[in-house]
Amino acid sequence: MAVRVRIAPSPTGLLHIGTARTALFNWLFARHEGGEFRLRIENTDTSREVAEAVDQIQDSLRWLGLDWDGPHTFQLDRMEDCRQVAERLLADGKAYEDEGAIRFRMPDEGVTAWDDIVRGRIEYPNEKLEDVVIVRSDGRPTYNFASPMEDVWDGITHVIRGDDHIPNTPKQLNIIRAVGAEIPVYAHVPMIFGMDGNKLSKRHGAQAVEEFRTAGYLPETMLNFLALLGWAPDGETTLMSRDELVERFSLERVSPSPSQFDYQKLDWMNGVYLRALPSAEFAHRLLLWLGENGFDWDAERVTRAAPLVQEKIARLDEFPGFAGFFFRDVDPSEADLDGGAPMLTAAEEALIALEPFDAPAIEAALRAAADRLELKPRQAFQPIRVAVTGSKVSPGLFESIELLGRETTLSRLRVAGSSAA
C-alpha cells in the first residue's frame, strides 16, 4: 500500500513551529516514500477567525515549501459520517448514551499496545481508559472519534504526530478496531524545548512560523533547521538542501528525546544561507521582505546596498537597522563623533570636488586627509562613519559614501562637523 500521511492543525491561530516541524516530518516521509501528504483542518466552528487561521496555516506551509496532495479537508465536513458510525456502535453495544452524548465502551482488562516507530513498544493498561465521549450532546463528534475515523476514511497509513498525543492513541486504536478498520502505523515525535529545558513558549522568543518569516529567516533555513529538531541523518551533517532532506529522511532516525530549539544556531544557519545566495537573489529576497513588512524604499538603492550587507547580517530584518541610513536621515551622537570636527572638515574638503566619486577614489582621498592630520585610520574614520551612517557599526565606509552620493555625504559631514566642533 502506498504511504499516505496527514497533518491536522487546529485553526486556533498562527501555525506553531512545533506543528510545522511535525508537518515537515510527515512531508519528508511522504516524499521520501513516494506517497501522499494530506492537509486536514481539525476545526471546531466556522467563525471568521477560523477562516483567517486556515488561510494563515496554508500560507505558512506554502512558505516553508510543504505542498500537500489534494484539497485540504475539514473535520466538521464529516459530522454526518461520524454520527452514522456512532449509531452503528450504539446498535452493536460498543457505545452507549449518556446525558444526550454518546460514549464508547473501552475494554476493562488487559492492555492496548502498539509498536511505535519512534518510541518502540508502548503498552497502556485498559483499566486506566475512561469511556470517552465520541459524539457530544449537540451532535458534534469529539477529536478522539473524528480524528481516527478520518484516518480510516482517508486511508492514512502512518500517523506521525507529537508525543503529547500518546495518551490519545490507545483510545483511538480501540475505536478503529471496533469499526473493523486497519490500524495505521504510529510514530510519536519528541516535543520541542527551549535551551533551558522547558517546553518552548513565548518567553523563549518567536513561536509561530509567521513570526520567523517576519524576523527575516529564509524558508530554506527553517526547513533545514526544523528537520534537525529530533532527527539527524548521521550525527554530523548540518546543512542540507530540500532534496537532500527528502533523500535521507527516515522515521527510524527520529530520536524519542525532546529536542532543543537553539535560536543562536538558527541565526548562524540563516547567515550561512544568506551568504550563499547569488547577489541578485539576495537583493530580491531583501526587496520581498521589505515590501511584506511595510518598507517603501527605493528598489534600485536597495539592490545596490544589498552587496554591502550580505556578509554582515544574519537575518533580513537586520537590514533596516544596519543600512537604514541609505534611506532616511541620521542623527549622530555627539559622544560618538568624539571631537572629530577637524577630520570631518578635512573629509568635506577632500570629497567636495573628487572625481570619480567611487569607493577607491574616496578611500584614497580620505586616507590622504587622515595622513595630513597625522591620524591613524581608526581615529580618522570613526567620526566620518558616525556622521554619514549615524552609527559606529556600518557596511563598508567608502562603498557606503559612494552609494549615498556626494550631496548627501557632504550635507551630513557639515551637520556633524558643527555638532562636533
Return the active site residues: 202
Pairing of strands 111-116, 120-125: antiparallel
Q: How far apart are CA 133 and CA 86, in angstroms?
A: 10
Q: How far apart are CA 211 and CA 218, in angstroms?
A: 12
Q: Cα Rg for the chain, rounded, in angstroms?
A: 30
Paired strand residues for 101: 98
Q: Does residue 82 contact residue 149 with C-beta atoms inside 8 Å?
A: yes
| Closest-CA residue to 417 (of 373, 380, 383) | 383
The region, left, alpha or beta by phi > 0 then psi within -120 to 50, assigned to residue 34 is: left
H runs (alpha helix) in 233-374? 242-248, 263-276, 279-292, 299-309, 319-323, 334-337, 341-351, 359-372
Q: What are phi and psi of 398, to 5 degrees?
A: -70, -40
Q: Which residues of 4-36 are buried (b: 16+ CB within 10 A; e: fewer)?
A: bbbbbbbbeebbbbbbbbbbbbbbbbbbbbebb
